Amino acid sequence: MDEGGSCIRRRVFVHKRNRPSLESVFAAPTAAELKSGDEEEEEDEIGAGNRRRKTVDVQPVENIDSEEDMFGDNDSFAENSLLAQIDDLEQKYMQLPEHRKHTTDHATEDPCAESIKRKTLSITTVGNFTELKLDEHTKNQSGHEDVSLEPEADLLYDVPSSQVLFFENLHKSSNDFRDPSAKERDWSSSSHKTANEELPTNSIDQAQQIDESSSKVRASSDVNRRKSLKDHLKSTMTGNAKAQTPIFSRTKQLKEALLSEEINVAKKTIESSSDDLGPFYSLPSKVRDLYVQFKGIEKLYEWQHTCLTLTSVQERKNLIYSLPTSGGKTLVAEILMLQELLCRRKDVLMILPYVAIVQEKISGLSSFGIELGFFVEEYAGSKGKFPPIKRREKKSLYIATIEKGHSLVNSLIETGRISNLGLVVVDELHMIGEGSRGAILEMTLAKILYTSKTTQIIGMSATLNNVEDLQEFLQAEYYTSEFRPVELKEYLKINDAIYEVDNKAENGMTFSRLLNYKYSDTLKKMDPDHLVALVTEVIPNYSCLVFCPTKKNCENVAEMICKILSKEYLKHREKEKHELIKSLKNSSSGSLCPVLKHTIPFGVAYHHSGLTSDERKLLEEAYSTGVLCLFTCTSTLAAGVNLPARRVILRAPYVAKEFLKRNQYKQMIGRAGRAGIDSFGESILILQEKDKQQVLELISRPLENCYSQLVQEFTKGIQTLFLSLIGLKVEKRKHINYQHEEWKKGHHWRSQRY
């Protein structure tokens, strides 16, 4: 196998290892989990293959082979197509010595490889991967909370790295990355109001500016910078403490006293369960100010207010709520989390499906943590301590992926601290019905329900159908609304014609327009689906996401689009794109993926789970500030992500080899038209004639039901849950045996569905 091949294969390999099978998840003893944490957890799509298929008309097959590309049935990948030639060139390029270096560099940088590097048993089994080494980066990542070991760092004693990073971002944004051109971005201009009239345009602009300034593309992310900034922060804080500047400390003390007084009042309000919820839902008025300051949110949507004031919510009953994508579900959960942290003085766990969303939430909530005095702790990838550090005064908000959340709950049960967890919030609750990851989530919730009667559980999603079953499992109340603040239009593209999805029409769609774009014969071969025509209607002034079925296809489509795009696109925010390339190179020892090298100058990049976390952060920052205007991506960007997208294009109605589910479709198109970012959103699903019937069913049928994944894998799933409970010493074998019988009879959760 050549080196280039090994690079791609390595990523696929890492990825496959990262997808925990039911067996591996359940078989692992809890003690081991506690020591090492879980494996990486991004959702998997079919991996990027080294050699892609070059047949013209291939139907999806049952066995998913990571070597294959879903787009075998597309001309773009036919034997003599340009992309096939590029593919071959790419193979040759992979074999060049300098590229080999790149692949090796990548191998050591990939965060997905972290756990594998630490667990050497898997390294030895796969040829080239034995070269992976434990470098500085690895050590730093795994020991990221070591600040507590430094005696002189008293002031930072308990500060999680996420909050140190937040300081770093503040510092950076206040220095050299201010760029007025970012403000010219159309989506932030006042002419693009959202459909929601409650939305304060000025404050959104203000928030946009804050966001933009705090997330400028890093011009020079040299490795030492973070270190020195941390040192700088420590010495500044220590310096302040020593100098005891009277004005500063007095003002600060006054502010803190005021806040703690407000919190005391809030505590009493919440305890008294009176109807008067004080200035801001039982929270100090400072929280409301922070929402205006950091997020530009001045007023809650009506549904948010209704939901927060439900009697059942005030009584701390478990709750499931469901609203369309971009409906503003997060804010309700955040307010409930803040009530728990500040007023009830309990820790909170928030579970999210992907590392990328965990990191997005970490950066969004760190500022609240700093201002309001609680810790925000990351449990994703290689981050997170087991058992979590016991805090002296302040409470912790753990933000975790599904797998890390499970390990955290195990460790809290084992150390007798589960009752410290006042609230568990599960975002994208529909994930509970999805394979082995769903089973882990289900197990986590079952353990909490079983071991801590005082822990409240809240789940939310835009794509739930059989809610009653879930309600039964979680013993939860339910709230729902159809509110979506920004209009989202759905379209289908068949050949040259665009149809609008229309439930009232006989076959579910009405003709909208013909695509107006002149293609030469060569262009037609390169881009048979007119992707370039569709994206150029939007970019560079607005942003566009193109969902692709596989990782390799993401890269191919990005390259293909840039082959065709006019050179004019190179001029758009040229300097910042150049800086982005430099930052990406710095983040991976001077090398850059050849595809990104080619596409970034056009404002285009791919986004999938094969990116390192540094690459992903840099690319996301550039995309959210408009430096990049087009992401070709996989389903890892499909749920919960709040990135700008005027238009979302679905490259084909498939995820890997599977035909798209209604839930997946809804989540993907829901990335378009996000409140506070865009005033309007649209989705276009590209389909071939052969898929038309299935797509027409897809757009009209109800959302899929969630099914218990533990019950699906009955013997393995339930038994292992029980074994795990024995391991955690929460149950005795005899009692468990009895319960197992009950479960089998269906007495426990009553229905197999939920």
Selected binder of Mg ion within 49, 384, 640, 727 (CB under 5 A): 640
Residue 362 host element (H or E): helix 355-372
Closest distance to ligand ATP from the beta carbon of 712 (Å)? 25
- The residue at minimum Cβ distance from Mg ion is 640
Which of ligand ATP, Mg ion, none is residue 323 near (CB under 5 to 8 Å by kind)? Answer: ligand ATP
> 320: helix, coil or strand?
strand
Nearer to ligand ATP (CB atom), residue 612 or residue 624: 624
Q: How far apart are CA 482 and CA 485, in angstroms?
A: 10
Measured from the Cβ of residue 277, the count of other Cβ atoms closer than 10 Å reads: 16
Closest distance to Mg ion from the beta carbon of 431 (Å)? 12
Closest distance to ligand ATP from the beta carbon of 463 (Å)? 8
Q: How far apart are CA 454 and CA 475, in angstroms?
A: 13
Closest distance to Mg ion from the beta carbon of 398 (Å)? 18
In one-letter notation, the amino acid at residue 146 is: D
* Closest C-alpha among 459, 390, 450, 387 to residue 423: 459
Nearer to ligand ATP (CB atom), residue 304 or residue 663: 304
396-401 and 347-352: which strand pairing?
Answer: parallel
**Total residues interacting with Mg ion, rule: CB under 5 A:** 1
Nearer to ligand ATP (CB atom), residue 397 or residue 531: 397
Nearer to Mg ion (CB atom), residue 20 or residue 640: 640
Q: How far apart are CA 22 and CA 127, in angstroms?
A: 26
Residue 202 host element (H or E): helix 201-214
Contacts of 252 (CB under 8 A, 6+ apart): none
Which of ligand ATP, Mg ion, none is residue 676 near (CB under 5 to 8 Å by kind)? Answer: ligand ATP
Which of Mg ion, ligand ATP, none is residue 353 near (CB under 5 to 8 Å by kind)? Answer: none
Closest distance to ligand ATP from the beta carbon of 696 (Å)? 25
Q: What are phi and psi of 177, to 5 degrees?
A: -110, 20
Residue that is written with structure tokens 């966001």 in the block: 211
Q: Between helices 161-174 and 201-214, what is the axis angle to 10°? A: 100
Nearer to ligand ATP (CB atom), residue 187 or residue 301: 301
488-494 and 681-687: which strand pairing?
Answer: parallel
Closest distance to ligand ATP from the beta carbon of 457 (Å)? 18
Closest distance to Mg ion from the beta carbon of 201 (Å)? 23
Nearer to Mg ion (CB atom), residue 483 or residue 519: 483
Nearer to ligand ATP (CB atom), residue 271 or residue 302: 302
Structure tokens at 220: 């020079």
Nearer to ligand ATP (CB atom), residue 330 or residue 609: 330
The 8-class DSSP code of residue 335 comes to H
Q: What are phi and psi of 398, to 5 degrees?
A: -90, 125
* Closest C-alpha among 117, 71, 14, 5 to residue 610: 14
Which of Mg ion, ligand ATP, none is residue 328 near (CB under 5 to 8 Å by kind)? Answer: ligand ATP
Nearer to ligand ATP (CB atom), residue 284 or residue 644: 644
485 is an interface residue for Mg ion by CB under 5 A: no
* Region near Mg ion per CB under 5 A, out of 63-71, 340-348, 516-524, 637-645: 637-645
Q: What are phi and psi of 324, to 5 degrees?
A: -60, 165
Which of ligand ATP, Mg ion, none is residue 301 near (CB under 5 to 8 Å by kind)? Answer: ligand ATP
Q: What are phi and psi of 295, to 5 degrees?
A: -120, -5
Which of ligand ATP, Mg ion, none is residue 608 near (CB under 5 to 8 Å by kind)? Answer: none
Closest distance to ligand ATP from the beta carbon of 60 (Å)? 27
Closest distance to Mg ion from the beta carbon of 294 (Å)? 17
Which of ligand ATP, Mg ion, none is residue 331 near (CB under 5 to 8 Å by kind)? Answer: ligand ATP
Closest distance to Mg ion from the beta carbon of 667 (Å)? 10
Closest distance to Mg ion from the beta carbon of 325 (Å)? 8
Nearer to Mg ion (CB atom), residue 535 or residue 669: 669
Q: How far apart are CA 384 and CA 437, in angstroms?
A: 19
Structure tokens at 360: 């997005």
Nearer to ligand ATP (CB atom), residue 412 or residue 638: 638
Which parts of this chain interact with ligand ATP (CB under 6 A)?
A: 199, 295, 297, 300-301, 304, 323, 325-331, 462, 640, 642, 670, 674-676
Structure tokens at 336: 């409930």
Which of ligand ATP, Mg ion, none is residue 436 near (CB under 5 to 8 Å by kind)? Answer: none
403, 440 Cβ separation under 8 angstroms: yes
Start-end of H helices in 610-671: 613-624, 662-669
Please state, in angstroms and as integers, the Cα–Cα distance from residue 124 to each residue in 75, 121, 131, 273, following that order: 40, 6, 9, 59
Residue numbers at the binding site for Mg ion (CB under 5 A): 640
